[in-house]
Amino acid sequence: MNYYIVIPSHNEEKYISQTLQSLTEQTVLPKKAVIVNDNSTDKTADIIMAFAEKNSWISIVNKSSEAIHLPGSKVIQAFQKGLETLDEDYDFMVKADADLIFPNNYFETISKHFQSDNKIGMAGGFAYIEKEGEWILENLTDKDHIRGAFKAYRKECFTQIGGLKPAMGWDTVDELLCKFYDWKVVTDETLKVKHLKPTGANYNATARYKQGEAFYSLGYGFWITAIASLKLAFRKGKPLLFLDYIKGFWQAKSAKKPLLVTAVQAQFIRNYRWKKMREKLF
């Protein structure tokens, strides 16, 4: 299967060479890889150019956006910039971060998953972080969720969900919309991706309410938001984040911010979330 990969990058000189090297060593290479250099002030662009000169399928796109790094919007706007340069001659599309090391068989295995069942809309592995010299599972999400750092979408699914939303929560709403449109989401525990930089390491302090706003924008409602906020805060080892998330939710609700989904989709999402919670409890 042909696949395209788009990698947003901002000041990633410390990591991006390892990411690109792991792409060049794939058993099945991308047909095209677009690296979006988003307003980097370090040597990120030079590193990308060096790889592009040696690999014809790698290209660079330059983008200038605000320096502030807020979760969701900035990275997806950069992704969109790269996507605009690509044609439709692909079987699956990949959004990836610039601080990863993929196992050599990663995309060959992803391709096999898609080929095994034409109802599989999304597929991905698991993120591992280094801690005290060992690579351990970055356990921020459930094992049926694909991390936003590396997502592969079948073209038909990607088109039906309307691509990626430039807002925090994009990497949850995409999977929920997949399920809404009756696509399957597949995770593969054998695909261990090394995540070189902790999630959210560059986020500005002003982003602390964004998670609650994201829960609101997904149509969760208060009680699902409260449960999800409590769970995520404890997973991050910072219980007081719960209060920030709840405040973010009420701020978004009070401002009547638009949802990322339709009313029908929001109702489906709430029903789905309650169903998953009941399954875990009983």
The last residue of a domain, from among 129, 163, 195: 195
Q: Which residue has the tokens 């999630």?
A: 199
201, part of any domain: no
Q: Residues of the chain whose pLDDT is less than 50?
A: 201-203
Name the H helices within 34-169. 44-54, 73-83, 106-116, 155-160
What residues contact 79, with CB distance under 8 A and at least 6 apart?
A: 6, 8, 36, 95, 164
The last residue of a domain, from among 174, 195, 216: 195
Verify that 19 and 155 share a domain, yes or no. yes
Helix (H, G, I), strand (E, B) or coil at 57: coil
104, part of any domain: yes
Verify that 50 and 185 share a domain, yes or no. yes
Verify that 32 and 150 share a domain, yes or no. yes
240, part of any domain: yes
Verify that 226 and 245 share a domain, yes or no. yes
Helix (H, G, I), strand (E, B) or coil at 228: helix
Which is it for the CA torsion 226, 227, 233, 236, positive or negative?
negative
The last residue of a domain, from among 171, 195, 219: 195
Cα–Cα distance list, 274 to 191, 260, 268 (Å): 29, 19, 10
Query: What per-residue confidence (pLDDT) applies to 70?
Result: 57
pLDDT per residue as tens digits for the range 149-160? 999 999 999 999
Verify that 90 and 217 share a domain, yes or no. no
Query: What per-residue confidence (pLDDT) applies to 69?
Result: 52
Q: Which domain holds residue 237?
A: 206-281
CA distance 260 to 108: 32
Phi, psi of 178 (to 5 degrees): -55, -50
Verify that 271 and 182 share a domain, yes or no. no
Query: What per-residue confidence (pLDDT) applies to 232?
Result: 86
Query: What per-residue confidence (pLDDT) applies to 236?
Result: 83
133, part of any domain: yes
Verify that 144 and 266 share a domain, yes or no. no
Contact criterion met (CB below 8 Å) for 18 and 98 = no
pLDDT per residue as tens digits for the range 235-258? 888 888 899 999 999 999 999 999
What residues contact 132, with CB distance under 8 A and at least 6 apart?
A: none
Verify that 101 and 224 share a domain, yes or no. no
Verify that 276 and 225 share a domain, yes or no. yes
Number of structural domains found in the chain:
2
DSSP state of 65: -
Query: What per-residue confidence (pLDDT) applies to 72?
Result: 65
